[in-house]
Amino acid sequence: MEIKLSTQPYKGTRDFYPREMKMRNWFFSKIKKSLEAACFDEYDGPMLESLDLYAAKSGEELAKEQTYNFSDRGGRNLAIRPEMTPTVARMVAAKMGELNYPLKWFCISNMYRYERPQRGRLREFWQLNVDIFGCDTFEADLDVIKSAISLLRAFGADQSMFRVHINNRRFFNDAIAAIAGTDVEGSRRVSKVVDRKNKVPREAYEADLKALGLDDAQIAEIDELYTMSVKEATALCPDSEGARELNALFEALEKTDLLKYCMFDFGIIRGLDYYTGTVFEVFDEAPENNRAMFGGGRYDNLVGLFVKNAKISGVGYGMGDVTLENFLTTHHLVPDLDNDGTKVLVTRFDDVPLEAYNTLVDILQESGVRAALYLGNKKFGKQIDFAAKEHYSHVVIMGGNELAAGEVKIKNLQTREEVTVAHEALGKFFH
**Residues in 144-183 at the binding interface with its own copies, rule: CB under 8 A:** none
Rounded to a whole number of angstroms, the minimum distance from the CB of residue 163 to its own copies is 21
> How many other CB atoms are found less than 10 A from the CB of residue 190?
24
Closer Cβ to its own copies, 97 or 287, answer by number: 97
One residue of 83, 143, 208, 245 binding its own copies per CB under 8 A: 143
In the range 82-141, which residues lie near its own copies by CB under 8 A? 87, 90-91, 93-95, 100-102, 104-105, 110, 112, 114, 123-124, 132, 135, 137, 139-140
Rounded to a whole number of angstroms, the minimum distance from the CB of residue 87 to its own copies is 8
Q: What spatial distance separates the first Cα and last Cα of the chain, rounded to whole Å? A: 48
Distance CA 267, CA 64 (A): 30
Binding to its own copies by CB under 8 A, coded x per residue (else -) over 9-48, reads: xxx-xxxxxx--xx-xx----------xxxx-xxxxxxxx
3-state secondary structure of 431: coil
Tell me, by CB under 8 A, how many residues bind its own copies. 99
In the range 45-64, which residues lie near its own copies by CB under 8 A? 45-50, 52-53, 56
In the range 215-244, which residues lie near its own copies by CB under 8 A? none
Question: For residue 190, how far is the Cα from the chain centroid?
Answer: 32
Closer Cβ to its own copies, 226 or 386, answer by number: 386
Distance CA 55, CA 411 (A): 61
Q: If you ran DSSP here, which 8-state letter would residue 90 be given?
A: H
Closer Cβ to its own copies, 358 or 401, answer by number: 358
Closer Cβ to its own copies, 191 or 313, answer by number: 313
**What values do phi and psi take at 429, rounded to 5?**
-55, -40
Radius of gyration of the chain (CA): 28
In the range 282-341, which residues lie near its own copies by CB under 8 A? 305-310
**Is position 373 an interface residue for its own copies (rule: CB under 8 A)?**
yes
Taking the CA atoms of residue 86, residue 92, residue 93 and residue 98 in that order, the dihedral angle to the nearest 10 degrees is: 170
Measured at the CA of 294, the angle between CA 290 and CA 300, to 5 degrees, comes to 140
Binding to its own copies by CB under 8 A, coded x per residue (else -) over 374-393, reads: -xxx--------x--xx-x-
Determine how β-strand 314-320 pairs with β-strand 291-299. antiparallel
